Amino acid sequence: MYSSFDKQCNGYTMVMDKGIGFHQMKDQIAIAKPYMQFVKYGFGTSCLYQPEALLQKNRLLKDHEIIAYPGGTLFEAAYVKQLTDVFFEEIISYEFTGVEISHGTVDIPDKEKYEFIRRGKSLDLTVLSEIGKKTETGFHSLLDSIKHDLEAGADFVILEGRESGTSGLYDNEGNIQEEVLETLSKEPDLLRYIIWEAPCKDQQVAIINVLGVDVHFGNVAFEDILSVATLRKGLRSDTMLTCLK
């Protein structure tokens, strides 16, 4: 019976790590490795680790082919402090395998953003760019921003929802902007590069029911990794009829 529901799914999950320990991470990998492709150290938390503890976790994730990267907030803080050179040096020295280039809080000119994306690629990192504020300027601008980031070399583009799921893509009550879904549903070639920050189940369900199970989700809590996997496999009532037809 179990193998009957082992449906292949191409949707990735980015998990937000707000400070779990090495042994907890090992346990998470043992239980949910097939369903977690990225681990993001939330906010600027990676700066607060003891160096050896951070290296130990990053090496564990690398050994299991899970991409580890610090949250975009840390990149923006480095930009404000004019420490982006040091930021990239430490990305490498602490053996991160990815980097997020965002401008959700700090206004960074597009030209500079593209240069940072290219720099990340030159260091052989998986580069994720984030778009948040620009969703407020209109949906055509959203599409243009996604395309420009990809053209600059980004491997994935994150659509911002924040940890709370109440900004960017969503209204103050956490409801997704239907026009965003409708607009991107017409762009199948872009969907495989987009990560939807969707920390809440209702958001995940709404996106899957419109775009299918292969969408990528971000800002998923560790305790929700398997829950998201059940939504993708039709093992939860919310998506059963969509997935098991």
pLDDT of residue 134: 42
Q: For 186-195, what is each residue's pLDDT tens digit?
A: 999 999 999 9
Which is nearest to 219 in space by CA: 46, 53, 59, 42? 42
- Hey, where are the domains in the chain? 7-243
The residue among 20 and 168 whose pLDDT is bigger is 20
pLDDT of residue 133: 61
Residue 1, pLDDT above cutoff 60: no
Residues of the chain with pLDDT > 90, as a percent, come to 76
Q: What is the fold of 7-243?
A: TIM Barrel (3.20.20)
Q: pTM score, two decimals?
A: 0.92
